[in-house]
Structure 1
Amino acid sequence: MQEVDLIKALANDRRLAILRWLKEPQAHFSPQVDGDLVEDGVCAVLIAEKLGISQATLSEHMRILVQAGLLRPKRIKQWIFYKRDEERMAALATLIAGL
């Protein structure tokens, strides 16, 4: 993905909120029945509820963040869980600092 596409992925308040929440998932989400908040990530249903949006709308935001390499999806049963890719986030910080 090109740098401009990575920056575009961040150009949305909801996507920025998702990235902030997933940095410290235990502080922003209740424990889940399936999957550990830190090890497995946060269930998409919980993220959609917190944002007050439909799961279809959330899916588009998550698709953009996953394509940018900022999130990693993981399937557990019928659910998708999302976790930040901290290496990619560090590379992003370096990119932004270099601008």
Structure 2
Amino acid sequence: MIDIDRIYKALANPFRRDILEWLKTPAKVFEQGHFDFSHGVPPNLIHAQSGLSQSTVSAHIATLVAARLLVATRAGQWTFLSRNEEVILAFATQMSDNLSAPRPRRASSK
């Protein structure tokens, strides 16, 4: 189950939407260097890309994780962030269903 209100609040901030966009194709956005993006992206790369303070970036990431839009995975001493595609898809589907215009009813032919 998704918390749609928490997701709307998380997506209200343009920087959080940027993070989600960056993580969609991390190899195109971040310098790859010695990182393998199969586990996700380390938060320090998001920080470096943003130009914002580390504490600000951490707060935005925490909001996205709390909304379940991001997944934080630990591997030893490292944390990697990736998009939670299942929750994103469920949210997009629910939003589309809620905002779609109702289909007109057919007149009965009696």
**TM-score (normalised: structure 2):** 0.80
1:87 — aligned with what? Answer: 86
**What pairs with 1:24-35 in structure 2 (closer than 5 Å)?**
24-34=25-35
Write out per-residue CA displacement over residues 54-89 of structure 1, whole angstroms, 9 at most, x where no aligned residue: 221111111110111111012234332100011111
Using the TM superposition, give the Cα deviation of residue 32 of structure 1 relative to its aligned residue in structure 2, in angstroms.
Answer: 4.7
Q: Percent identity?
A: 41
- Tell me how large the CA RMSD over aligned residues is: 1.5
1:54 — aligned with what? Answer: 53
Matched, 1:65 2:67: no
Where does the alignment leave 5 or more consecutive residues of structure 2 unmatched? 100-110
The SS at the match of 2:79 is strand
Write out per-residue CA displacement over residues 7-63 of structure 1, whole angstroms, 9 at most, x where no aligned residue: 1110001000000010111111121535x21x2111100101111012211111111
Where does the alignment leave 5 or more consecutive residues of structure 1 unmatched? none
Matched, 1:96 2:95: yes
Distance 2:27 2:19 in 1: 13
Query: Where in structure 1 do 4 or more consecutive aligned residues deviate above 4 Å?
Result: none
**TM-score (normalised: structure 1):** 0.88
**What pairs with 1:30-45 in structure 2 (closer than 5 Å)?**
30-34=31-35, 36-37=36-37, 39-45=38-44
